[in-house]
Amino acid sequence: MNLKPRPRTALPTQALHREPVQGLVTCENLPMEFLVTMQQVIMMFCFIGLGLLAGKLGWVTQEGNAGLTKVVIWFVLPALVITSFQRPFSMDVLREMGIAFAASVVSYALCVALSYVIFGRRIPKDERTALRYGAVYANVGFLGVPLVQALFGADGVFFAVMYLAAFNIFTWTHGFGMFTGGQTIRSRLARFARNPNLMALTLGLVLFVASIQLPDIVATGLGYLAGMNAPLSMMVVGVSLATVRWREFLTAGWCWVGVAVRNVAFPMITLGVLYLAPLNSVARMSVLTLASCPVAAFVVMFSVMNKVDPRFATRLMCISTALSILTLPAMLALGHFVLAGS
């Protein structure tokens, strides 16, 4: 295998998303950029709608959806991560990757601390656990990465992976620990080490640092798999919403507070961290996009795995996801406005 970078024809995924955004918009063209972002978000929610319809019609059962989830987690997302690292090595890019990861860790640390202050012991234990987890951890894998792919292309995914790495570290140590309580740090780290996205990140980083280009047949195959990420991930989310009783949301109580924190307040904290970070515009906006996503589906999965009543967690995730069609474009527009002059 030739270890030197060589030119190669475009991967098939490049035809599936916009070209990477090279610079932040100014106040004059902010409405147009907001419209483009809104269109991409609406497209993602159309895929969710197709999944919801398939679930309602019984074409995809919840058991089948669990299988599709594994396909996304073990095959599609790792392929997207690896293809995003297929580029010539650069020390400047590696430095920005490190800064993006550090900014993500700082953001998570601040949000974790504030979640304990906002959702205190006056709230029932199961609801308190779901609120603390849901406020901190967003749906970065199934919604965030596909949206970054659509908005900013491969360059955006390249930096979004750093936030995804921080997400995996925190969610499989702090996040999972909130639901289990009794599990040791060692067992939590063992789960984290088996995460397929971490494996893909490690492999992609090695390929990037060594400037190793995969053979064309392998790169093309990974490109086709990566191209499935946006529609398939969104449909998985849609099928999971098929069993929800929407009328129950009107009496959701603390759910609405959790949604306000997750969809608006905590993304603003990340925006403040990014404002201080010396990063390029695509890196900043990619991280902000992931941080602005709705509640992670893991809040329901962890509840079920640890025999915690999942009904409250499901309401929290569904309300957050439904409202993100408005809050996500708004947060990205705010990000463009704030970061344009920094």
What residue ranges do the domains of the chain occupy? 46-339
- Per-residue pLDDT at 3: 45
Give the whole-angstrom CA distance, residue 85 versus residue 200: 10
CA angle 87, 4, 281 (to 5 degrees): 20
Residue closest to 209 by CA, chosen among 303, 95, 77? 95
Q: Name the residue with tokens 């997207």.
A: 80
Fold (topology level) of 46-339 = Na+/H+ antiporter like fold (1.20.1530)
Residue closest to 208 by CA, chosen among 339, 90, 39? 90
Give the whole-angstrom CA distance, residue 217 versus residue 11: 11
Give, as one character, the DSSP assignment of residue 228.
Answer: T
Q: What's the whole-model pTM score?
A: 0.78
Give the whole-angstrom CA distance, residue 182 versus residue 248: 32
Q: Name the residue with tokens 């269109």.
A: 39
CA angle 160, 166, 170 (to 5 degrees): 145
122-142: pLDDT as tens digits: 888 888 989 999 999 998 887
- Least confident interval from 21-25, 172-176, 295-299, 338-342: 21-25
- Per-residue pLDDT at 276: 94
- Least confident interval from 182-196, 264-278, 321-335: 182-196
226-285: pLDDT as tens digits: 888 878 877 887 887 787 776 766 666 788 999 999 999 999 999 999 999 999 989 999
For residue 162 the two structure tokens come to: 């750093």
CA angle 114, 120, 124 (to 5 degrees): 135
